[in-house]
Structure 1
């Protein structure tokens, strides 16, 4: 079972692991490190537990004013209950659940990677004005979640190399290609860079490397948990 989790204060994936009995934990939604408030929606057990509209630094940022409509309607990784069946999906925040399904959990980030890469719409890439806040074409530590045709969930974290911090990692177009190669039909980007981190089977892996080649252990706001049913 793959579900989101959120803490009041930021924590490393290793600290999330100490709180939750999980097989694996992957960093997930966006947040503001300055005030530790979310910039992504998070729904857990049908309840909205994180609302970016309540983050005053986001809402009152003049540089983001024209983008707020898109920021509040980014892509989400969702878990539905359809009758007695659990189903995972990737959808925009404004999209309604399929007929006969109710939304149980959701966590937002973006941009969508598959079936198409939505860099202009969700990454706010503006090639004409050379705006690319996500550094989408630059190699970086990145995290993604995908869903295969049979409904399996793929969790991916691509790390940088300690000996080549400036030239390693992956771009967003390459990440989309990787998710497709791994069998995903649907996929989305999660928080990246210093946030990229993975806990699996008792071990913690960090994605971002500093100029000295040391992995950065940055606390995050929200994660995806892999737990046994």
Structure 2
């Protein structure tokens, strides 16, 4: 399963770079779009490698879990621990985040059904993108291939509720949540942001609902205050 998950963005990057290498094949606008897709697929590949690292760290020392901060290793720096999510939080536009995540994991626009207002939340954009990308990829891979992947969101009482819905494959209305690393990583990331992911099955559909606090954080006290 992991090999397949890595192969998808690598194959896409290869196809796009070959097209970019043919100087007469793409016009200026097509080249710009292709370069944007290469960047998205590269970010997605990097995020999956982060998932593998975090999951492996959790198996070694159980540090990846509710409220835990995974250890991040820089190529030329000693290991360090991520700061609190609120320290890296900022405004995140949901429509752009969802569409970018869908493009990164190879879901065609014709299969994506997005319903939601032009909403901005205050969160850690990197972790939120990793959560949404994993949920979308899981829905696309394990849901019925002839059905859309539906994404919707709403703000309810200061909480963001983002739902990713896919139609189950079997006639009995059952499906698996996926055999890759996505679900455990999503759960850990959601907990690190003070939220949770709920999985629901009804009427032939599987819903993954991300619930996160959406409001502005309480500002820190002034420096030097008691």
With the length of structure 2 as denominator, give the TM-score of the two structures. 0.29
Between 1 and 2, higher relative CO (CA 8 Å, sep ≥ 6) is seen in: 1
Higher helix proportion (structure 1 or 2): 2
Flag the structure with larger Rg. 2
With the length of structure 1 as denominator, give the TM-score of the two structures. 0.29
Higher strand proportion (structure 1 or 2): 1
